[in-house]
Each structure stands twice: as structure tokens, then as C-alpha cells.
Structure 1
Amino acid sequence: MKIYLAGPLFTAAELAFNKNLATSLSEAGHDVFLPQEQSSGERKALSILRSLLEAIELCDVVIANMDGPDPDSG
């Protein structure tokens, strides 16, 4: 199954949690897209948004870690 794994990106702990979860899902046989592993380089925000939306469209399911005081403080 192709999985888009969305989660918070604000702290090292959040990034590590996302990576560990992605690794576990991959080891279970899933194809995981983890946005934090995509290099934004010099791309503009609209270009990044388009590539992430395309990735979502190509996935079978989205797993969103909504653990925190609100969905997105940023």
C-alpha cells in the first residue's frame, strides 16, 4: 500500500518520530512517502505544494499525526 505520512516538523523529536513510524511502515511492506525527506532546495512554496499534492494523489491512504495542541500552529 502506498502511504503518505503527514506529521509535525517543528522539533527534532517530531522529525525522529515521523522517521521511526515511516521505517516501521516500510518494514511492514508499505511504500511510504514522508514529506520531511523531500528536499525543497531553492524551490518556491507553490512548487513544493504542487509536488506534495501530487504525492498525496498517488497514495492509497494518508496517515496524519495530529498529536498536539492544535492541527497546525505554523
Structure 2
Amino acid sequence: MKPVLYLAAPLFSHSEKAFNEQLARILSEKFEIFLPQRDNHLIVDLIASGMSVEDARRKVFDGDLAAVRSCDILFAVLDGRSVDEGTCFELGYAHALGKACIGLQTDPRRLLPIGNNPMLEGTLTRVLHSLDEVVAWSTP
């Protein structure tokens, strides 16, 4: 049985979703993947289907929290000038639960001139910097 990996990443644009799917395929060699955009709900879809904003928020929040609680590892995409706020929350929550937290940061931009915020860095067991490193790390 493969360990369960929660893939925390921004999931709002087509390119973000496509990158997340690519990562999920790579990581699925070694892990059972929970990909929120695929395995939970997207708030915009729930609202478009007629659900209230509050109910949609609660459904997404509860589903993602349950998945973080049940995962073995949280894998966080840290790219961007600042890290996606949902990803930061998931990372902090997983860390508080004692989960292993791995980061992927292919983007050289950082909010602080000295690197990432210490509260972000402190949660990470390891940071990978390329898809090649992800492949090497996740190859059984």
C-alpha cells in the first residue's frame, strides 16, 4: 500500500491545474495522491451549480481538512512571488499535525530578500527545486 500524499498547490488557472496534474502523475509512482482540484470540489463549480457561497466554502474547507488529516505527507508547490495562501494554510495545518512536509519551489522569486518567510521554511522537511528532483525523490 502506497503512502498518501496531499498535493497542496494553487488551482485557479488552467496552467496551475495542468501543472498540478503533471505533478500528480509523477508522484503517483510512489504515492497515492490526493489532488484537491480532482478529489474534492472547486468552489466556483459548487457556486455555479447553485450552492450558496457559505455552503460551498464550508464543503471545500471540510473536504480539504479531512484529506490533510488522513494523508501521510503534504507536498506543497511554493512557486510565485508569494506562496498561495491556501497552500500556506494546508502546509501549516499538516505541520501542526506532525505530517512530513515537502516543498517544490522552481521559481526563484521570493517575497523576502533573504528567502522564504521563516514560518514557511520552518514547516518544510525538504525543498525540491525542479521536476527532475521530484522524479528522483518519488521514484520507488
Structure 1 letter corresponding to 2:75:
I
Q: List runs of 5+ in structure 2 lacking aligned partners.
A: 87-140
Are 2:8 and 2:74, in contact at CA under 8 Å, matched by a contact in 1?
yes
Q: What does residue range 1-74 of structure 1 map to in structure 2 within 5 Å?
A: 1-26=3-28, 28-37=29-38, 38-40=40-42, 41=46, 42=51, 43-72=55-84
Name the TM-score, length of structure 1 as normaliser: 0.85
- Structure 1, unpaired ranges of 5+: none
1:10 offset after TM fit, Å? 2.5
Larger relative contact order (C-alpha < 8 A, sep ≥ 6)? 1
Q: Let me know the Cα RMSD of the aligned residues.
A: 1.8
Question: For each residue in 1:13-69, what CA deviation from the matched residue of structure 2 results, as whole angstroms up to 9, or x when unmatched?
Answer: 11111001001111x131000001123433520121011000000000100101001
Q: Secondary structure at the match of 1:21?
A: helix
Task: Work out which of the two has the higher radius of gyration on C-alpha atoms and give 1 or 2.
Answer: 2
- The aligned amino acid for 2:59 is S
- Does the Cα contact within 8 Å between 2:9 and 2:84 map onto a contact in 1? no
CA contact (8 A) 2:6 2:73 kept: yes
Separation in 2, partners of 1:59, 1:72: 20
CA distance in 2, matches of 1:22, 1:12: 15
* TM-score when normalising by structure 2: 0.47
Q: How many residues align?
A: 73
Q: Secondary structure at the match of 1:62?
A: strand
**Percent identity over paired residues:** 37
- Secondary structure of the residue aligned to 2:41 is coil
> Letter of the aligned partner of 1:17 in structure 2?
F
